[in-house]
Amino acid sequence: DAHAIEGDWVTLTVADNGVGISAGLLSRKSTLGFLGMYERARLAGGSLTVNSGSGKGTRIAVRLPMGEVEPNRNARGSGEGP
């Protein structure tokens, strides 16, 4: 839906006016879609926020640095350790 640039950061936002997502669903560890989005944002040096409420729609925003990010050597999938 929208993007904003602040200094060396870009924020991308997607929002809808649908039925929303319950807080319980967002906090469940078995929700791999959200878990994957949080992890990818973190690995890229940024953050992800999800705001939603039953019957109030959902707003997802990812904030990422625009410069190069040094790889996180301790992250899963980096080829080092568990």
* Tens-digit pLDDT profile for residues 24-82: 777 666 667 888 899 999 999 999 999 988 888 999 999 999 977 666 554 444 433 33
Instruction: Check if the beta carbon of residue 62 is closer than 8 Å to that of residue 46.
Output: yes
Judge whether residue 9 has pLDDT over 90. yes
Q: Mean of the per-residue pLDDT values for the chain?
A: 80
DSSP E strands, the chain = 2-6, 9-16, 47-52, 58-65
User: At which residue do the structure tokens 């707003």 appear?
Assistant: 59
- Phi-psi map region of 15: left, alpha, beta (phi>0 left; psi -120 to 50 alpha): beta
Among residues 15, 17, 9, the alpha carbon closest in space to that of 61 is found at 15
| pTM of the predicted model over 0.75 | no
